[in-house]
Structure 1
Amino acid sequence: MAHGARAKRRIGEFELIARYFAPLARGFAGAGGLKSDNAFLAGDGRHDLVVKTDMIVSGVHFFADERPELVAARALRVCLSDLAAGGATPHVYQLALSLTRGWTERWVAGFARGLAADQRRFGIVLCGGDTTGTPGPTTISITAFGKVARGKGLGRDGARAGDELWVSGTIGDAALGLLAARGELTSTFLERRYRLPQPRTALGPLLVGIATATADVSDGLLADVGHIADASRLSARIERDRVPLSKAARRALCAKPLLWNDVLGGGDDYELVIAVPARKRAVLLEASRAAGVEVTRVGAFSKGKGVVLTVSGQPQHIAQSGYVHF
């Protein structure tokens, strides 16, 4: 580097999308300016199609020696989680599979068994795709299609000041589970929560007409609440004392409180973040019971910008806001 020259900053994931790819989506309202994980397409006279593409890469999203059945489940379920956030019921999906040169038929057979099991579990079926070889790591891309009532799909940009902030299930299990998978914690429960996501496909469609905005917790609670706040041009407050924890996560935090950074910013929980008007709280709880998925109120949205984290009512510095690829 020449004397006095400065290294050029590499732009982040969301800036890259906004600068180079969002302009390509202009003119199609269903793309939402590429600010949401889902796209919305007109379906039949009664439904819209909610469309989501996700990619997972060996060594980045799953361990290279992971069981192929679990790789298949992760690949499909991360897409189904976004469909749930869109209020959609799973319909069909396409698969693009890029295999390394050392692939074996045994691995592919296990991968196909994993897909078949989840097709039965979630009521979805394969409708096409592509296969190729690669010198690089195994890469799987799935495009999933769901159905939602015409014009009723849920996105990130509908929250209003005064809406309550709710989350499904428990938060932080997957981030702690990754540490367990690496041998840094001991918990089979947490490790399984990381290796096998549980998309909230039963709850998502029931949120239509109740929630004003939704997202799934893929990048981390702080980050995904921030996505809703940014898209809705609001500020969000998260009360850490209210964040729902599993018994295993609570034990880990008691032993090492610094793990709160992983719990709030680690991602991969695939729970739902939900903005709900206070007047619809009872209806939300009824939907929660019908789906068999607990929900917890953890904060609220208000006028302003950004995400504020409080502990015992006091604002806290946010050390890790979420996972980013670049």
Structure 2
Amino acid sequence: MKYNEFEIISHFFNKHKKKEKNLIKGIGDDSALIKIPKNNILAISTDTLVEGTHFFKNITPENLAYKTIAVNLSDLAAMGALPKWITLSITMPKSNNKWLKCFSENFFKILNQYKITLIGGDTNCGPLSITLSVYGLIQGKKTLLRKNAKEGDLIYVTGCLGESAAGFFLLQKKKKIDIKIQKYLIQKHLNPIPRISEGIILRKFANAAIDISDGLVSDLGHILEKSQCGADIELNKLPISKKLTNNFKKNNYFDWALYFGEDYELCFTVSKKNIKKLNFAIKKHLIQCKHIGYITSKEKGFNLIENNKKINFKKTGFNHFN
């Protein structure tokens, strides 16, 4: 049995039983209606994932459901927002009940994990692509913006870089390594972890932040452009795990860490006066991060430094239209 557009929505995506207190009207009308709590800012982000560009054609519906949500939540994490609501628009070549069942079940499993409510969306026929809009709340007036980096700030990165790229590389079966490490790295590509709790913590004392979706060089470059600053990054301080250094060539894992992206870690800046607050959060295991460099003046530019020497590098990461 094939479902039409409205039957797909009713059968696979209208599953929330418990009403969220700030949701006035969700699925089933022309628009969703939300009441914004007092003293909160609404954060909104939209991303589209297209088959062949953002995910492999043979990706499982479960992994696609996870990645679709995770990459969108990462944008809210970079602002220090708590995710609350989401809309889903899905375009597919044909109605496939088995695929939709697997996708929707994992989709709601992840939404429940993050306590997010699906409030609307759309379905269409065409090449497989998925567009999500996520809505989050920021309590108070302090937000993490790209434009707020200041000269003298210390630059940090959460987690490790390059592991998603290694997973992508392994999915193409270009290298054989220990099976446990291989599975781990592939999962890092397919199931990235959005740094929601870290973003909320950082909002209290960090100046600027961005999620690493297009590569460290490209994404940090956005902070520098908006803040009208420069940066010095110590190449040997980049957080690269032994899973990469023990199994791949140096030029590979440095390229992956700098340019590939899709790690969805946070790159952020903190002033020297707030370092004690960051160190306290690290000590309490609230955030895992590593210091990689400093914000400098715009005139000094963006520099990668290895063994006290500036090295030549390209200043672009992933681009949708390259």
User: What TM bracket, shorter-length normalisation?
Assistant: 0.7 to 0.9
> Cα gap change, 1:62/1:148 in structure 2, threshold over 3 Å: closer, same or farther?
same
What residue in structure 1 maps to residue 291 of structure 2?
297
What residue in structure 1 maps to residue 106 of structure 2?
114
Residue deviations 1:25-57 (CA, integer Å, cap 9, x gap): xxxxxxxxxxxxxxxxx9432100110001101
* 1:190 CA drift (Å): 1.4
* 1:318 CA drift (Å): 0.9
The percent identity for this pair of structures is 30
1:208 and 2:200 are equivalent in the alignment: no
- Whether the 8 Å CA contact 1:52–1:83 is kept in 2: the answer is yes
- Whether the 8 Å CA contact 2:62–2:103 is kept in 1: the answer is yes
1:257 and 2:251 are equivalent in the alignment: yes
- Whether the 8 Å CA contact 1:157–1:232 is kept in 2: the answer is yes
1:324 and 2:314 are equivalent in the alignment: no
* 1:256 CA drift (Å): 4.6
Which of the numbers 279, 283, 291 marks the counterpart of 2:273?
A: 279
Secondary structure of the residue aligned to 1:106 is helix
- Whether the 8 Å CA contact 1:210–1:280 is kept in 2: the answer is yes
1:184 and 2:174 are equivalent in the alignment: yes
Secondary structure of the residue aligned to 1:268 is coil
> Cα gap change, 1:284/1:79 in structure 2, threshold over 3 Å: closer, same or farther?
same
Secondary structure of the residue aligned to 1:231 is helix
What residue in structure 2 maps to residue 220 of structure 1?
215
Q: What's the TM-score once normalised by structure 2's chain length?
A: 0.83
What residue in structure 1 maps to residue 10 of structure 2?
none
> Cα gap change, 1:258/1:76 in structure 2, threshold over 3 Å: closer, same or farther?
closer
Q: How many residues align?
A: 282
Quick one: distance in 1 between partners of 2:284 and 2:144?
19
What residue in structure 2 maps to residue 131 of structure 1?
123
How do 1:45-64 residues align onto structure 2 when only pairs under 5 Å count?
A: 45-64=38-57
1:72 and 2:81 are equivalent in the alignment: no
Q: What's the TM-score once normalised by structure 1's chain length?
A: 0.82
* 1:284 CA drift (Å): 1.3
State the one-letter code of the partner of 1:266: F
Secondary structure of the residue aligned to 1:56 is strand
Residue deviations 1:148-202 (CA, integer Å, cap 9, x gap): 0232121100000000000000011111111011112342221111111110111
What residue in structure 1 maps to residue 224 of structure 2?
229
Secondary structure of the residue aligned to 1:81 is helix
Q: Which sections of structure 1, spanning at least 5 residues, go unmatched?
A: 1-41
- Cα RMSD over matched residues? 1.8
Q: Which sections of structure 2, spanning at least 5 residues, go unmatched?
A: 1-34, 177-181
* 1:291 CA drift (Å): 5.8
State the one-letter code of the partner of 1:321: T
Quick one: distance in 2 between partners of 1:52 and 1:289?
31
